[in-house]
Amino acid sequence: MASDSHDFDLFTIGAGSGGVRASRMAALTGARVAVAEDGALGGTCVNVGCIPKKLFVYASHFADDFGDAAGFGWTVGDRSFDWPRLLANKNREIERLNGVYARLLDGAGVTRFAGRATLVDANTVEVAGRRHRAANVLVATGGWPSLPDVPGIEHAVSSNEMFHLPALPARAVVVGGGYIAVEFAGILHGLGVAVTQLYRGPLFLRGFDDDVRHTLAEEMRKRGVDLRFQARVARIERAGDERRVVLEDGSVVVADAVLYATGRRPLTAGLGLERVGVETGPDGAIVVDAWSRTSVPSVWAIGDVTDRIQLTPVAIHEAMALVRTLFGGVPTKPDHEDVASAVFSQPPVATVGLTEAQARERHGDVVVYRSTFRPLKHTLTGRDERTMMKLVVDRASDRVVGVHMVGADAAEIVQGLAVAVKMRATKADFDATIGIHPTAAEEFVTMREPD
């Protein structure tokens, strides 16, 4: 614990998922803890990320559900979509969650400060003109959308603004090839928007398994999303209410809204890190060691601001490891191996472990099992959609080192399989497991013939 010369044992800057968890759990050990936040509690995930995004994904699925109903004997009458109503309902839920976070912090005895916090020195934080001494300072300020310096970029919006658009556009251009771009392309298309997605590379979702990337591109095009790869934006022009996206090849895409989802940067500017001597990388990410400690011994950092793995559960995991290290008497390194993730695209993607390319690089000789099939549901709907599942196995140990899926309920299925991968299950273990029939998930335990 801190000496009496300190006001707090831990002062957290940023009340997102990682900052709230670290603050709350540290306080429950008896530590004196404060947290400062200049926005809404819950950070990106709660306010302009995972939660509202998933709610939008649910909303966008109803068009498919209505269309598929006829194959099962249902007649669906007139229908329409009310964007303002969705926004209002979403906002109400987010405000509820903001309140939940406040109650969790207050209930644990955490002192909350509303305002932007900056580091004055290695043990002093200033908020709204008041200075507070702390034995340890935790920076958990997350990330922020990064827009490139393209002429006319002021006519585009980031993912933050997408959650508050006053009106749903009839036509939209989504620029980017990461998970945010892919997810919003699916959301907007599902809500009836004509969507063109532009990506400067040859194939989107860089870093994912190639079979996942190819399968998702094919399925999105089947649905009617205009995917254009090797497409570089030269400038954006505005003509009245329209936006004209001019590409380097001279072609033009006209839309009512342009979303730029070309990456996020750690939110470190103006925190006083340079003054204190905290080392940051070229993109502003805070450099930390294996225990989340910065170059200044009393300053720590977790979550997206460190740009290790930008996922909410990872930030929470890092927070728990930090609390054990500082207040539990058990120095604990966060474990970033075999972290499962999902893209709530349409159809969705989920993955855990190594891609085929990574597995070949790390293990050399690998065995790949791959299955593509038409889901049972669509034998009656007539929808031309295929599911892809893939296992990557290290031949020497027979261990399943990668699991990949594109298809309905992918995230729910792969979450369970992530336990098996983390436990170093073998292909023989998968083969010995009896499937649940009829499900798509059973395919993962019935694949016998390698590619």
- pLDDT (0 to 100) of residue 5: 79
Please identify which residue in the block is written with the tokens 């999303």. Answer: 225
Q: Are 180 and 301 in contact (CB under 8 A)?
A: no
Per residue in 93-134, pLDDT (tens digit) is 999 999 999 999 999 999 999 999 999 999 999 999 999 999
Q: Are 37 and 11 in contact (CB under 8 A)?
A: no
Top-level class of domain 153-262:
alpha beta
Q: Which of 132, 155, 214, 437 is catalytic?
A: 437
241 membership: H or E segment, kind and range:
none
Whether residue 448 is predicted with pLDDT greater than 70 in this model: the reply is yes
Per residue in 175-227, pLDDT (tens digit) is 999 999 999 999 999 999 999 999 999 999 999 999 999 999 999 999 999 99
Whether residue 1 is predicted with pLDDT greater than 90 in this model: the reply is no
The DSSP result for 90-138, as a single string, is HHHHHHHHHHHHHHHHHHHT-EEEES-EEEEETTEEEETTEEEEEEEEE
The dihedrals phi and psi of 266, each to the nearest 5 degrees, come to -60, 140
Per residue in 44-101, pLDDT (tens digit) is 999 999 999 999 999 999 999 999 999 999 999 999 999 999 999 999 999 999 999 9
- Given pLDDT bands bounded at 50, 70 and 90, which one contains residue 371? very high
Q: Tell me the domain boundaries of the chain.
A: 8-144+265-327, 153-262, 341-445
In order of 101, 362, 441, 451, the CA distances from 433 in angstroms are 40, 27, 12, 21
| Percentage of the chain exceeding pLDDT 70 | 99
Rounded mean pLDDT, 419-433: 98
Rounded mean pLDDT, 355-360: 98
Q: What is the pTM of this model?
A: 0.96
Q: Are 300 and 293 in contact (CB under 8 A)?
A: yes
Alpha helices in 241-371 (DSSP H): 273-276, 312-327, 356-363
The number of CA neighbours under 13 Å toward the Cβ of 133 is 6
Whether residue 350 is predicted with pLDDT greater than 80 in this model: the reply is yes
Question: Is 336 one of the annotated active-site residues of the chain?
Answer: no
CB within 8 Å of 136: residues ≥ 6 apart: 2, 9, 10, 11, 298, 299, 300, 326
156 vs 436: CA distance, rounded Å = 47
- pLDDT (0 to 100) of residue 4: 62
Q: Residue 28 is encoded by which pair of tokens?
A: 């429950």
The mean pLDDT value of the chain amounts to 97
Q: Residue 264 is encoded by which pair of tokens?
A: 């996020």
- pLDDT (0 to 100) of residue 323: 98
Top-level class of domain 341-445:
alpha beta
Two domains, one topology: 8-144+265-327 and 153-262: yes
In CATH, the number for domain 8-144+265-327 is: 3.50.50.60
Angle ∠(110,112,117) on CA atoms, nearest 5: 125
Per residue in 8-18, pLDDT (tens digit) is 999 999 999 99
Nearest alpha carbon to residue 390 among 357, 355, 418, 363: 355
In order of 6, 120, 278, the CA distances from 124 in angstroms are 9, 5, 14
Rounded mean pLDDT, 312-328: 98
- pLDDT (0 to 100) of residue 294: 98
434 vs 395: CA distance, rounded Å = 22
Whether residue 3 is predicted with pLDDT greater than 60 in this model: the reply is no
CA-CA-CA-CA dihedral for 339, 176, 208, 415, to nearest 10: 40
Q: Are 202 and 231 in contact (CB under 8 A)?
A: no
